[in-house]
Amino acid sequence: SQQGEEDPQALSIQEGENATMNCSYKTSINNLQWYRQNSGRGLVHLILIRSNEREKHSGRLRVTLDTSKKSSSLLITASRAADTASYFCATDPKAAGNKLTFGGGTRVLVKP
């Protein structure tokens, strides 16, 4: 079963705009992670936010975590055509031993 559910399922924006996607989950977690997948390739880890953190930045990426609402958001600022990919959130539930549960992903298209 998928614990993380991303919203929206697909997003189309112009280069230079910001892209925001959300993830909701159901159980208590150790951390929440975001991954990117380019078409036909494996997943690449982007950022990990621990359950006691509220916000984290990495380059043009900003992730927030609200454990009271069991939700997270990923913001990509000043998007580029190379950001076109699918983005997945994954939760690391407590006592699951790094056995991640992935959401269905958000497909992002950045038009030049």
Partner 1 sequence: DVKVTQSSRYLVKRTGEKVFLECVQDMDHENMFWYRQDPGLGLRLIYFSYDVKMKEKGDIPEGYSVSREKKERFSLILESASTNQTSMYLCASSFDHYSNQPQHFGDGTRLSIL
Contact residues for partner 1 (CB under 8 A)?
A: 1-2, 30-31, 33, 35, 40-45, 48, 50, 88, 90, 92, 97-100, 102-105
Beta carbon of residue 4, minimum distance to partner 1 (angstroms, whole number): 9
- Could you tell me if 69 and 26 are in contact, meaning their C-beta atoms sit under 8 angstroms apart? no
88 burial level (CB within 10 Å; 0-12, 13-18, 19+)? buried
Beta carbon of residue 39, minimum distance to partner 1 (angstroms, whole number): 11
Beta carbon of residue 73, minimum distance to partner 1 (angstroms, whole number): 19
Rounded Cα distance, 12 and 50, in Å? 29
